[in-house]
Amino acid sequence: MSDKAAKRAKFEKAWIVIRDELVDYAKLNNMPKDAVEWFHNSLEYNVPGGKLNRGLSVIDTAEIIKARPLDDDEYLKAAVLGWGVELLQAFFLVSDDLMDGSITRRGQPCWYRQPHVRTIAVNDAFMLEASIYYLLKKHFKGQPYYVDLLEIFHETTFQTELGQLIDLISAPEDHVDLSKFSLEKHSLIVIYKTSFYSFYLPVALAMLMCGIPYTTTSTSSKPTNGVNGTSTSMPQISHPHSRVSQSIDSTLSLVSSSVPPSQSNISLSPPYITALRILIPLGEYFQIQDDFLDFSGLPSEIGKVGTDIVDNKCGWVVNTALNLTSSNPDLAPAPSSPASALSPERRAELRKVLEASYGVKPTPEEVQKAKDMRAQAEREGRDPQNEQGYLGEAEKRVKGVFEELGIREIYREYEEGVVGKLNKMIEEEVIEPGDGKEGVRREVFRSFLGKIYGRKK
């Protein structure tokens, strides 16, 4: 068994203990047998079946911070926090699937599509979220950072739900309106819907468990500005061929606003500010990479047929294409862009193709034809690249626009740029612990970046 598989197996073994604690709580509250069984089935169906990257990141981060394997008590605490993140993920996914009318999740029918479940899934989602706080109380009530755990879970949940709101009202599947799309809006959706809970939350939880203080008390009336006097705002990581940049000042303000006025000299401690500054843009990079793979990756590589185009997703690829085909001179392609070689008339034509074809569902006949073409290509030993990405003629036209605009080259330029800047931040801004200084080891961030850079699925 590989080291990765062994870590997963140990984490899954901890899930059995944690799941049984939750089911026992239902029993202690005199729930009838059928209700207890329902809760058990919901937990098993919705929580442990994914990649578990978020939950395992808590374990990995805690071990990096402590620079040693965790003892049994430490491992259980880290596992509870890790499964807390997975419960939060399950809460989001059950809810999202119901809102989106999704069909499958993790290779099986969505929970709400079970004939006996349907809209009961709404209550099941609430119970998945509530389970987090029962576990925190049971395992951390006596810890000095217990309230910090509660606050960070609550804040992250709210931030993610804000991102989901923007996503839902910007790109409903049944109504395509590309005028609502923009790279700025895409960044906002990604940061709030993905980055906070997928990247910052697991690391922050491990930091809390390892005794790194969440807040600091300033001796002056002004809140702590940042690490070594640096600004707490997001680094300017720009997207090629756009002028998009982001700031997390609002996030730091949100943290500050939770402190009572009488304690206004309390602010987020520097290690957490550093974690935010690195992990939020890292999470944005991850999602942009995911959007690109949905367009460019072969199903044999990424494990699925990309559906962002037919699902009308407000993704990085389409927003970049919309910028490149815009009549706005401020969004004109950069000289190095392949799109700069296209005439304004041609770019306008490509824009019309996007507006007519993006978000258009394939017909049943087109879906079957695409499956048949892929199967035939595989039988004949041919490269199935030309057959595999397409679910219909409309999607094929959209992908043709992306290719003509040079999206692949633009993405490669973006990836190298953002990885270079993240590596520079890790080197320059992270304070290693020691000599009485509170900090987080650079390896925490290098580990995350190493898992993402150049991935194919």
Q: What is the pLDDT of residues 179-223, one digit of tens each?
A: 999 999 999 999 999 999 999 999 999 999 999 999 887 654 444
100 labelled catalytic = yes
Q: Do both 71 and 153 map to the same domain?
A: no
Determine which of 110-119, 378-387, 440-449 has the lowest per-residue pLDDT on average. Answer: 378-387
Q: Do both 240 and 170 map to the same domain?
A: yes
Q: Do both 285 and 164 map to the same domain?
A: yes
397/382: higher pLDDT: 397
13 labelled catalytic = no
Q: Are the beta carbons of 263 and 289 closer than 8 angstroms?
A: no
Q: Do both 111 and 244 map to the same domain?
A: no
- Residue 303: the pLDDT is 65
pLDDT greater than 80 at residue 160: yes
Q: Do both 97 and 176 map to the same domain?
A: no
Write the CB contacts of 226 (distance below 8 Å, at least 6 apart in sequence). Answer: 232, 270, 273
| Separation in Å, CA 166 to CA 169, 186, 242, 246, 371 | 5, 9, 21, 16, 34
51 labelled catalytic = yes
Q: Are the beta carbons of 180 and 171 closer than 8 angstroms?
A: yes
What type of residue is 202?
P
pLDDT greater than 50 at residue 253: no
Q: Do both 133 and 189 map to the same domain?
A: no
Among the listed residues 92, 140, 181, 286, the single catalytic one is 286
295 labelled catalytic = no
- pTM recorded for the entire structure: 0.86
193 labelled catalytic = yes
158 labelled catalytic = no
Q: Do both 19 and 133 map to the same domain?
A: yes
Domain's final residue, options 118, 141, 164: 141
Residue 437 DSSP class: B
Q: Do both 193 and 289 map to the same domain?
A: yes
Domain's final residue, options 91, 111, 141: 141
Domain's final residue, options 125, 141, 157: 141
Q: Do both 5 and 89 map to the same domain?
A: yes
Q: Do both 127 and 152 map to the same domain?
A: no
91 labelled catalytic = yes
Alpha-carbon distance of 412 to 417, in angstroms, equals 9
What type of residue is 452?
I
Q: Do both 219 and 333 map to the same domain?
A: yes
Average pLDDT over residues 247-274: 59
Domain enclosing residue 358, as ranges: 145-457
Give me the percent of the chain exceeding a pLDDT of 70: 85
105 labelled catalytic = yes
Cα–Cα–Cα angle for 111, 29, 84, nearest 5°? 50
126 labelled catalytic = no
290 labelled catalytic = yes
Q: Do both 336 and 409 map to the same domain?
A: yes
CB burial string 302-330: b at 16+ within 10 A, e below: beebbebbbebbbbbbbbbbbbbbeeeee
Specify the CATH number for the domain of residue 44.
1.10.600.10
Split into its structural domains, the chain has a count of: 2
Among the listed residues 7, 8, 66, 100, the single catalytic one is 100
Among the listed residues 11, 91, 181, 196, the single catalytic one is 91
